[in-house]
Structure 1
Amino acid sequence: MHLLFATSIVPDGALASGYEIANAAIIAALRRAGARVTVIGFTWPGKAAADPENTVVLGAIDVRTESASALQKLAWVGKATLSGLTFASVKLRAVSEDEVQAALEQAGPFDGYVLNSVQFAGAFEKLFEDKPSIFVAHNVEHLSARENAAAAGGIFQRLLFRREARLLKIVEERLCRRARFVFTLAEEDRAALGVASDDRSAVLPLVTGATAPARNGPRRIDCDAALIGTWTWQPNRIGLDWFLGRVVPHLRPGFRIRIAGHMPSGVTSAHPGVEFVGRVPDARAFVRGAAVIPLISTAGSGVQLKTIETFELGLPSVATSRSLRGIDHRPDNCIVTDDPAGFARALEAAAADIKDVDGGAFHRQQVKALDVAIRHGLEKLGAVRQEVLA
C-alpha cells in the first residue's frame, strides 16, 4: 500500500518540536506496518528533508507567526479573509493548487492519503478527495483556538482566534466525515471530534524515538526544576502563565527553576530562583539536570510530548491532569495535582527526595500500543480501497 503523508512541514531529522517528534513516530509506525510512505509538504528555510528519496518538497517556508514581520502578518490576515481559509492554512498557500497537483501526479500513484493535521489538508482540501484518507488530528484545533481567544490580551487577536475557531470546527468536521479513519493523540479528542466509535477512530500512543533513551549513569543535578518548550505557542504560554503566576509564589525563595526556550515578551517572575536561560544546545541533557520536571499544561488538546519524554527518561515529575491527556500509563514517580499550592508542595517534596525510574518499560508499552492502532487504521483504509477496486 502506497500512502501520501500530507503535512505542513516535512521531517528534517532535527525533531525540534513536539509536532515533528509526533510526525516521525507516526511515519515510522506506518512503515513498520508495511506501508510505503511518501511525504509531501514544506521545509523550514535552510533545512533539508531527512528522507529526500521519499519526500516531495514544495518549497521552504517559515509559518511561525511570532517571527513574521507586521507586513507579513497583515498579508496573511488579508489573504485569509479574502479566501475564506483559516489563518493557519493560508500561510501554506505559498504554492498554487496546480503546483501541488502536479507534484502529486509526479510522485504517485497512491492508494490513499494520510492527512496530517488540519493546516495542510485545509489549505489544499479538494486535492485529497479522489482517494480514501486517514485524518491525523494532533489536536482538536477549534477548541484550542477557542481557548486562545479567551486568553488573548487584545481585541484584534481575540477576534482572529474566534474566526479561527469557527472555521476550524467546519474544516475538522468535514475532514473527519470524509476520512475512512481518524487518529487522535488523546482519548478525549475522539469524542470532541465526533468519532468516538472504534470503527471510526483510535488513539495513537507516541514515543520520542525508535528506542528508549539510554541511562548514562547517575544524574548531575543542576537545579530543582526545569521546563523547556515553545512558549510562543499559545497553549504552552497559558500553562506557563499559570505556573509562574499561581504555583511559583508558593515555592520557597531558594527553590531553583530554570526555564529554557524562546520566551515571548512580557514573561517575568519576581521569584528569586527563576532563571530564563533561552535556547539550550541539548534539551535532553537540560531536563536531566533537574531534580523534578513540572508538567504544566492547562490548555489545548492532543498529547503533551514533554510528558512522554519525561516518562521515557524516568524523571520525577509533578503534573496537571491536562498534562496527562493521551497517556494511559503513569509512572510511580509522577504526582498529579491541579491545585497551585499543592503543585508547589509536591515539587519541593520531589526535589528533596529524588526518585528516578526505568523509562524503558513505558517506551515499550507505547510502541506496542502505537503499532496496534496503526494496523487497525490501515485495515480500515485497506477495506475501503478493496471496495473501490471491486
Structure 2
Amino acid sequence: MTLPPPTTPMRIAFLTTLVPNTLRTGSEIATRAILSVLEDLGHEVTLFAYGRAPFHVASPVETVLLATIPVESATAPRREQAAWAWRSLRSGLPISSEKYNYLPPDRLEAEIARTNPDLLIVDHVNLYPFVNGLARRLPLGVIFHDVQAISYAMVAEKSARPWWRAIYAREARLNARLERRAGAEARFSLFLSEADAEEARTRFGIAAPAVLPLFFPAPPDPAPALAPAYDIGLIGTWSWPPVRQGIAWFLYEVVPRLPPDLSIAVAGSGSETLSSDRIQRLGLVPSARAFLASLRVSAVPTTAGTGVQIKTLELAATGTPAVSTPLGVRGLDGLPETITVADGPQAFADALVEAVRRPKPRAAAAGHAWNEARRDAARQTLHDALTKLG
C-alpha cells in the first residue's frame, strides 16, 4: 500500500444514492472504492444514503440511513415510477434525480449539517440539487460516476420507439443542465475517466476536472476451482438502459454468429426477463465470483454509456479471461492480457470462440498488481483534491 503524505484529518459528509453494503452493482462497487480511499487517507467519514427495502446488512462506515426506497426502475412499483415522472415534470429535474427525492431538501441539509462536517462530497451528481444550498455554508465537491447527459443521448439515439426516444432525449437535456451547474458551483469535480473529464471541459466548461482512477475495492479472494459450467457468461444489472442496450446487441448481433454448441449463461438482475432460446437466464446468483469462475470466458458487450464499466474492472482485477467491446474498457489503461478487446459483432463473436477453444489461463497475480496500482493513483488524486481545499 502506497500512501501520499498525510493531510489534516477532515470530517467528511459523504452523500450517495445507496448504502454500499454489498458489491451487487457497479455503483456500489465504485462508492465502496472511494470510501476506502478516504479511510486510507485518515479522514472521518459519515455516509448519508438510501437503502433498498428491506435493509439488513451493515454499512462499511458510520452511516445515516435516509430511508429505504425502491431504486431499480425495472423492479420499482408503477406508482413510484409515475411519481418520479410527475415530480420531474413539476421540478424540471431529471427523473434520474427525482427517483432519489424522498426527503425535503431542508431536512436533508439539516441531517448533514448536524454532523458538523468540514466538507460535503456528493457522490453522484443526481443528488446535487437537494443539497446545493449547503454550498454557501461549507466546501462541496462532486464525483461524476459518468456523464449522464451523454449516456442518455446515446440511448435516445438508438431507441426504436418515438416516445422512448423523446423521454431519453429529455433526460439528456436536463442532465446536461444539472451537470453544468454542479461543475460550476462545486469546489472540485472528479470524474472516473479521462474521456468524461474532457467532455466536462468542452461541453460544460468545467475548468479543472480531475480524473479519479477507479479500482476494485475488495481484495479478491482466490476464485474457487470449478469445472467450467458454461462456455460464455455475462453478469450485470440489466435494467439500466445503456446496459440493456448492450445485452440486446449481444443477443441479436453476436449470438447468431456463435457456433450452436457453445453454452451461454446470463446472470444478474433483469436477466430473467431476456428473450432468447440460446441462453440460460439465471437471475441473481448467490456469488458473482463463483459464477465467473464457472465460465470459460466472460463477455462485456457494452455499446452505450460513459464512466467506467465496473464489470470489466472486476474481471481485470481478478485476472478473469474476458472479451469486451472498446466502450467496455473506457477509462481503463494498461489492461492485463486476460482482457481481449473486439469491435463489431463478428469480431466479438470470433474473439469469444477463440477464448473458448484456446482458453487463456487466469492471471490473479497480474490482475491484483494492476488493481493496486490504480488504488495508489486514486489515493493521490483524492489527496491532491482535498489538499487544495486547505
Q: TM-score, normalised by structure 1?
A: 0.90
Partner of 1:281: 286
Taking the aligned partners of 1:295 and 1:377, their CA distance within structure 2 comes to 29
Q: Hey, what does 1:30 align to over in structure 2?
A: 38
What is the Cα deviation at residue 283 of structure 1? 1.3
Where do 5+ consecutive residues of structure 1 fail to align?
none
1:129-158 CA-partner distances (Å, limit 9, x unpaired): 422222111111111111122233433332
What is the alpha-carbon distance in structure 1 between the residues aligned to residue 145 and residue 162 of structure 2? 28
The runs of 5 or more residues in structure 2 that have no matched partner are: 1-9
Task: Map 1:119-138 onto structure 2 (within 5 A).
Answer: 119-138=126-145
> Residue 201 of structure 2: SS of its match in structure 1?
coil
**Structure 2 equivalent of residue 301 of structure 1:** 306
For 1:218-257, what aligned pairs fall within 5 Å after superposition? Answer: 218-257=225-264
Whether 1:365 and 2:374 are equivalent positions in the alignment is no
Describe the SS at the equivalent of 2:157. helix
1:144-183 alignment to 2 at 5 Å?
Answer: 144-183=151-190
Change (3 A) 1:46 1:372: same
Distance of aligned partners of 1:157 and 1:208 in 2 relative to their CA distance in 1, 3 Å threshold: same
| CA–CA distance in structure 2, aligned partners of residues 361 and 128 of structure 1 | 42
| 1:57 and 2:62 correspond | no
Q: What pairs with 1:302-381 in structure 2 (closer than 5 Å)?
A: 302-381=307-386
Contact persistence 1:207–1:367 (CA under 8 A): yes
| Residues 112 and 381 in structure 1, CA contact (< 8 A), matched pair in contact too | no
Alpha-carbon spacing, 1:264–1:345, altered in 2? closer, same or farther (3 Å): closer
The farther-off stretch of 334-343 and 49-58 is 49-58
Paired residue secondary structure (2:114): helix
Look up the SS of the partner of 2:50 in the other structure: strand
C-alpha distance after superposition, 1:32-61 (max 9, x if no partner): 012111111211111146348721121111
Q: Give the partner amino acid of 1:340.
A: P
Q: C-alpha separation between the residues in 1 aligned to 2:255 and 2:192?
A: 30
Deviation at 1:204, TM superposition (A): 2.6
Q: 2 CA distance for matches of 1:175 and 1:302? A: 17
> Aligned partners of 1:264, 1:318: CA distance in 2, in Å?
19
Measure the CA separation in 1 of the matches of 2:148 and 2:157: 14
Q: 1:79 is matched with which residue: 63, 79, 87?
A: 87
Shift of residue 239 of structure 1? 0.7
Change in Cα spacing, 1:199 to 1:70, as seen in structure 2 (3 Å) is: closer
Q: State the one-letter code of the partner of 1:71.
A: R
The aligned counterpart of 1:114 is 121
Q: For residue 211 of structure 2, what is the amino acid of its counterpart?
A: V
Greater Cα offset, 119-128 or 19-28: 119-128
Determine if contact 1:239/1:298 at 8 Å carries over to the other structure.
yes
With over 3 angstroms needed to count, the CA separation of the structure-2 counterparts of 1:174 and 1:203, relative to structure 1, is same
Distance in 2 between residues matched to 1:215 and 1:97, nearest whole Å: 44
Distance 1:128 1:259, change over 3 A: same
Which letter does structure 1 place at the counterpart of 2:14?
F
Q: How many residues align?
A: 380
Q: Identity of paired residues, percent? A: 32
Check conservation: 2:193, 2:211, Cα contact below 8 A.
yes
Q: Does the C-alpha gap of structure 1 residues 169 and 198 become closer, same or farther in structure 2, counting only changes over 3 Å?
A: closer
Structure 2: how far apart are the matches of 1:383 and 1:360? 35
Equivalent residue in structure 2 for 1:212, among 193, 210, 220: 220
Q: 1:265 to 1:297 in 2, by over 3 A?
A: same
TM-score normalised by length of structure 2:
0.90
CA contact (8 A) 2:318 2:367 kept: no
* Code of the aligned partner of 2:365: G
- Structure 1 pair 29–73 and aligned structure 2 pair: CA distance change class (3 A): same
Query: C-alpha displacement at 1:231, in angstroms?
Result: 0.8
- Does the residue aligned with 2:297 lie in a helix, a strand or coil? strand
Measure how far apart 1:275 and its partner are: 1.6
Question: 1:129 & 1:156 partners in 2: Cα distance?
Answer: 39
CA RMSD in angstroms comes to: 2.3
- Following superposition, the deviation at residue 113 of structure 1 comes to 1.5
Relative distance call for 1:99 and 1:52 in structure 2 (3 A) is farther
SS at match of 2:286: coil
Give the one of 264, 269, 276 matched to 1:269: 276
- Tell me the secondary structure at the aligned position of residue 331 of structure 1: coil
C-alpha displacement of 1:180: 2.7
Q: CA deviation at 1:279?
A: 2.1
Q: Which one-letter code corresponds to 2:12 in the other structure? A: L
Determine the structure 2 residue equivalent to 1:43.
51
Distance of aligned partners of 1:93 and 1:242 in 2 relative to their CA distance in 1, 3 Å threshold: same
Question: Structure 2 vs 1, CA of residues 237 and 174 (structure 1 numbering), >3 Å: closer, same or farther?
Answer: same
| Gap change, CA 1:339 and 1:90, over 3 Å in 2 | closer
| Correspondence for 2:3 | none
Check if 1:88 corresponds to 2:93: no
Equivalent of 2:107 in 76, 99, 106: 99
- The CA distance in 2 between the partners of 1:377 and 1:199, in whole Å, is 17
What residue number does 1:69 align with? 77
Specify the code of the residue in structure 1 equivalent to 2:348.
F
Structure 1 residue matching 2:12: 3-state secondary structure:
strand
Report the Cα distance in structure 2 between the residues aligned to 1:114 and 1:63, rounded to whole angstroms.
Answer: 21
